[in-house]
Structure 1
Amino acid sequence: MMDSSPPVGVCLDMCPRRERQDRERQGRLHQYELQKDQRTCKGPRGRGRPIADPKKTVKEYSRPAAGKELSCPMDLRPPGILAKTVQYLLMDVCSRVNFRDLLSLAKTYSFVFDRLRAVRQDLIVQRIRGHGAALVLEGSLGFLLCAPYLVRDLPLADYDEVLHSAQVRESFAELIEYYKDGGEFPRQAEFQALLLLYNLGNMDTIHRALQLPWEVRQSPHVRLAIDINKAHLENNWVRLFRLVSRLNCLQACAFYRHLSNSRHKALCTLIHGYSSRNGRFPLDLLTRLIALDNSSLATEMCNKRGQAVTAGEQPSVLFLKAALKDVKPESPGKEINLVEQKKGKASWAEVMIGEDQVIKDVARSDQRL
């Protein structure tokens, strides 16, 4: 009978030696994986080619294919090395990116996204579960949740929203299964809340949240996320945005995908509710109610939907539902109040990785895992 036990990884580098040598020979190294002094070695035609830095080279994602071996122990990394890899990708690679340079941002995003897929693949092949696997996925999800906000200005060719969303959903599904196994997971409440915010209004997600252990369900993170979902289902947009203003930076990034649509629905509700030829709705109040950064953005939203905005010392909006135009929600943009100010002085890498000291402890001692 065939042995059904999963393989156990023994690779102690972020990239297996065999892969590193193959990619070096084939010229498939990423710029983040090269020797600092750009040393080269001669290729098959006598041309120089870049040399890989073993401390920077990271295993790339490999699609499963017929006849392709993915379970060789020498090519698989144990949990401690996977945790170290996640920490390196976030704290070293992401911390160096210039977010104003779209080319640099695109290269960094594609590199980190691909290498995190390989990390999750190693977890799956080895069937790793428990505390160590949860730490790895929690760090990966930190990046996956923040990335859509950070790459919002990238062209479609550099950011595949469908593929990215699939990775988020699959990572969350695996992480939740680890939590179900029982054990001590210090960040379980935080990530249960992030799932609720990411899947805003999803009844299956809400139903599962209501069945969580009492101490997790009653945590501030989960209670706030459930309240936001409740406000969304009740179309209580004023309450929803009041609650959203209490989210931290990572939570705001998880909610970010729903922000434009929520604002659109909120404004349409206000237009129908306060429609009057003699009434005026203060523009400043509207700006605060739907959590916009300034009144100019509120004016643009109103004008786009056929609503007139009066100028003067106290600008106001003339809501008329008869003039309401059927338009699509605005494309997501930069959010100062809901995201940037919440980040404060922390780097994006620190926001993504969260309690990085926990992952450092795991990386120090692979034997414990």
Structure 2
Amino acid sequence: MSYMDYFQNSCRTNTKEDIKVIEGTCSSMCPEAEVILRKKEKLVHVLEVVGDKHKLVKRYARPAADTNLAVAHNLRPFYILKKTVDYLLFEVTKRTDVPILVIYNFVTDRLRAVRQDMIIQELKPNLRIILLEPMIRFHTYFGYLLCEESLNDYSPTLNRNFLLECLKTCLYSYDELDMKITADPLDINILMDNMLICSLENKQQRLDRSLVEAIYVLTNLYDESPMWRLCRLKKSLRNAPAVRLAYRVAIASLHGNYVKVCKLIDKLCPLMFCAVALFLPRIQRAALRVVCAAYGGRAGVPGGALRGWLRLPAARVSRTLQHYGVAGDAGHVRCQRAAFREDAPLLPPSKIEDDHLEQKMNIDYILTYTHLDK
């Protein structure tokens, strides 16, 4: 059972009278018992060694039938969880003494442990949002950053599952806040004040709901469910620039207007681009099939035009055409509908060379910008 399923089931089955909320009392990023055990068994991760000291972070514990995870002294309260998330994302991700995959795997495991503590304690929705939004940014960014890694070392499916788990829990928390606005305006004012205070404790973090909603749409580009969610959002949120742009990309994709999708990609902010970039091989394959059908039997298509339509780098045009059985090169493409290989598997996603985006593809900017930043 996922954290989201556990949380929703708990909300449905428990009433205010029978809910017993557990409040964590652990005052460090790792419970003392785990610190002692891991040092004794020599299970300290290389990223937990800082200089000549150890800085341990609680590991994710897989639920088992004979274990009780709801122990107060092993659970970290919100302010410790926030400190842990900030440490992992703003400090550990900048380490240069280990490979990027080691950093990703370590941070991913420790963030799972944060979500586990968060769900067990059933934190308020505003507090969950503060913890989850940086995780959404992390998994979106690293999903693109590691897209060219070997499947033996990195699982894009697992990263996508973690991202969707964070997204759904975060959006559920936003919906819960929206319901509280209707039910008790005074209560929601208190919650939002707390959110503002908690956000300002670390001036680096900036919350942006419209960006989260947009990432959810683009992460599920060929799914209509996020579109139905957009229809239920408040008008002010639907009209936010990031949400409107994500909607246009999704509609163009569902309508098969691949040229428009590729043009709209140029307008995306870095995180939204990271989400869409993983779908580019699928978009390019579908677009190339349409081009072959439309221009088959004619003189063909100039390579430059095709690169622009499909957002294909010149260095990858020949490989892509050959993979799908289309004759041609970077200069000219000879389209033949019958030659297109329908059975060819999708090419893996790859990084896009874009000087404007490269300037912003750093962890500090990714974790702190909002869709209004230029």
The TM-score with structure 1 as length reference comes to: 0.83
SS of 1:109's equivalent?
A: helix
Q: Deviations over 1:194-253 (max 9, x none)?
A: 000001121111101111111111100000011111001100001111111211111111
Query: Which stretch of the first structure deviates more once superposed, 59-68 or 301-310?
Result: 301-310
Partner of 2:160: 165
Partner of 1:67: 66
Partner of 1:298: 317
Are 1:244 and 1:252, in contact at CA under 8 Å, matched by a contact in 2? yes
Shift of 1:16: 1.4
Partner of 1:192: 213
Counterparts of 1:263 and 1:351 in 2: how far apart (Å)?
29
Partner of 1:219: 240
- Of 269, 275, 280, the residue aligned with 2:300 is 280
Partner of 1:317: 333
Partner of 1:331: 348
Shift of 1:35: 4.7
Counterparts of 1:218 and 1:285 in 2: how far apart (Å)?
33
Are 1:142 and 1:351, in contact at CA under 8 Å, matched by a contact in 2? no
Query: Which stretch of the first structure deviates more once superposed, 202-211 or 221-230?
Result: 202-211
Q: Does 1:4 align with 2:23?
A: no
Shift of 1:303: 2.7
The TM-score with structure 2 as length reference comes to: 0.82
Q: Does 1:307 align with 2:326?
A: yes
SS of 1:163's equivalent?
A: helix
Q: Deviations over 1:131-178 (max 9, x none)?
A: 221011001111111222222243333323333222222211110111
Are 2:270 and 2:366, in contact at CA under 8 Å, matched by a contact in 1? no
Partner of 2:184: none
- Of 106, 113, 119, the residue aligned with 2:108 is 113
Shift of 1:310: 6.2
- Structure 2 letter corresponding to 1:87: D
- TM-aligned CA distance change 1:129 to 1:158, over 3 Å: farther
Counterparts of 1:216 and 1:199 in 2: how far apart (Å)?
19
Partner of 1:79: 78
Shift of 1:346: 5.3
Partner of 1:129: 124
Are 1:250 and 1:352, in contact at CA under 8 Å, matched by a contact in 2? yes
Shift of 1:117: 0.4
Shift of 1:305: 2.4
Query: Which stretch of the first structure deviates more once superposed, 279-288 or 231-240?
Result: 279-288
Counterparts of 1:310 and 1:343 in 2: how far apart (Å)?
27
- Structure 2 letter corresponding to 1:237: Y
Shift of 1:67: 2.7
- TM-aligned CA distance change 1:209 to 1:331, over 3 Å: same
Q: Deviations over 1:15-73 (max 9, x none)?
A: 11221111111111101112512xxxxxxxxxxxxxx62xx311100011123121122
Number of aligned residue pairs: 327
- Structure 1 letter corresponding to 2:368: G
Are 1:189 and 1:221, in contact at CA under 8 Å, matched by a contact in 2? yes
Are 2:270 and 2:361, in contact at CA under 8 Å, matched by a contact in 1? no
- TM-aligned CA distance change 1:150 to 1:354, over 3 Å: same
Partner of 1:177: 172
Counterparts of 1:75 and 1:139 in 2: how far apart (Å)?
23
SS of 1:317's equivalent?
A: strand
SS of 2:333's equivalent?
A: strand
Partner of 2:267: 246
Counterparts of 1:31 and 1:281 in 2: how far apart (Å)?
53
Shift of 1:345: 4.9
- Aligned residues: CA RMSD: 2.1
Counterparts of 1:244 and 1:110 in 2: how far apart (Å)?
29
Counterparts of 2:329 and 2:352 in 1: how far apart (Å)?
25
Counterparts of 1:329 and 1:157 in 2: how far apart (Å)?
18
- TM-aligned CA distance change 1:144 to 1:346, over 3 Å: closer
Where relative contact order (Cα < 8 A, 6+ residues apart) is larger, the structure is 1
